[in-house]
Amino acid sequence: MQPVPFSSITLSAPLLQSLEMLGYTEMTPIQAKSLPFIFAGNDIIAKAKTGSGKTVAFGLGLLSKLDATVFETQALVLCPTRELADQVSKAIRSLASFIPNIKLLTLCGGVPQGHQVVSLNQHAPHIVVGTPGRIQDHLKRQSLSLKKLRVLVLDEADRMLDMGFEDQISFVVKQTSKTKQTLLFSATYPDSILEMSAHIQQSPVEISVDETHHEGQIEQLFFKAEELQKPLAVVALLAKYQPESTVIFCNTKYNCQVIENWLGQQGYSALSLTGDLEQRERDQTLLRFANKSCSILVATDVAARGLDIKDLAAVIIYDLSPDPEIHVHRIGRTGRAGQNGLALSLCAETELERAKAIETYQNTTMQWGKYPAGKTPKNTTLRPEMVTLVIDGGRKSKIRAADILGALTGEAGLASNEVGKIDIFDVRTYVAIKRTSANVALARLQNGKIKGRKLRVRSLG
């Protein structure tokens, strides 16, 4: 379909400002197809793959229906994982940048409920993004009310059903207003999704979009490597292609740890992302990778969906998934938004049937390559471009990105192009600094003040 500009639909001035700031001028197919129905108040059931732009679609929809002067929870987004919930929260906050006094709260497991209850008691958030289990917990203890809910979004509904959240979702839906709008997004249309829709939606409009931003832009190669050869194959491929950033997908937490340790021994900057990490560790791992202070992320499929890293150079599949659809989600992390991507898959003899299933699913003939065998190749890649500094102060201290940037470019004397991403959380702020300037920035911040206060600052590397 022909590109449709956002200016062709009726949006409030603050939302148009946010879209301009984010550089969004034309709608993706899912946005162009769904937004008219969302704005008209219809329930929708939309089939859209990861990377299709669905978060912006439902984000604009729910923000357009909020009344910021009413301190009630008016929108709820349910997500299958904490990682996706965090991604969705950040995206909606960006879209709401020019709408004053909007409160958004992320409610997921892995963090103490007490802090969440305190925030809920201060005044109800306009928007809640969370996982079904934690939302159910807060509803049972009556720290959260959904009686005034206007919009309910189920993001990656098929994944939530696969993870066994059907009962929790049913419980949550029963606590909501009967007049709400329900937006259901799913990568696939199994019978279970249609059954769920029949129970929770009113005459939904069905929308199907198969296009993604990465189709035709990913170079895929398979390499034969037995299990004992795979660690060597990984460093051989890294040395050959020298990607600036790489996600390595493993089927098990054990393999993630093995590869993280192995790459560290070879001089690479690698971190692992698995279900064992506490929420703060997860946040730090993801933001260090996103802000380019870590070059390689080794992950289980907990990161396969919802992980949106800008300009990801390459994906390496260490273990082939038995599910071809999961393979497609994995490689879809690279080659986004018009960029070229690289997907390198290792395949042991016992995994050949999985490779054939992927070929059939993608309706293509896989290309097989060779990696340089022999001794371990030397790490010829550069160290990560950035270093992350963590500051013990955040939103609750009224710290803004401008305050951090001012301290660094003022007293610390850094040029603005030496400062990278600034991520502000409730009680901490993370800032990426060019490696060559990191020691100077750290010393100046430790000895100086931010907004007139002396705050603890340290380096994460």
Counting Cα atoms < 13 Å in the Cβ hemisphere of 391 gives 37
Per-residue pLDDT at 165: 93
Helical axes 230-241 vs 253-265, angle rounded to 10°? 60
Cβ count within 10 A of residue 282: 23
Q: Which three-class secondary structure state does DSSP give residue 419?
A: strand
Alpha carbon distance 84, 28 (integer Å): 20
Structure tokens at 251: 């089927």
Which residue matches tokens 């100046």? Answer: 444
What's the one-letter identity of residue 336?
R
Alpha carbon distance 38, 247 (integer Å): 34
Per-residue pLDDT at 350: 95
Backbone angles phi, psi at 79, to 5 degrees: -130, 155
DSSP 299: E
Per-residue pLDDT at 111: 78
Let me know: does 46 contact 211? Beta carbons within 8 Å.
no
**Residue 191 neighbours by CB under 8 Å, 6+ apart:** none
Alpha carbon distance 304, 328 (integer Å): 9
Per-residue pLDDT at 112: 81
Structure tokens at 95: 């879209």
Q: Which three-class secondary structure state does DSSP give residue 348?
A: coil
**Residue 356 neighbours by CB under 8 Å, 6+ apart:** none
- Block mean pLDDT (10 aa), the chain, length 461: 80 92 88 94 88 90 94 96 87 92 91 86 93 95 95 93 92 93 89 90 88 62 95 92 93 94 92 82 87 92 63 93 87 76 95 94 89 71 86 87 85 82 88 92 87 88 70
pTM of the model: 0.66
Per-residue pLDDT at 338: 62
Let me know: does 448 contact 407? Beta carbons within 8 Å.
yes
Q: What domains does the chain contain, in order, with CATH numbers? A: 4-209 (3.40.50.300), 218-362 (3.40.50.300), 386-459 (3.30.70.330)
Alpha carbon distance 176, 156 (integer Å): 20
Per-residue pLDDT at 459: 93
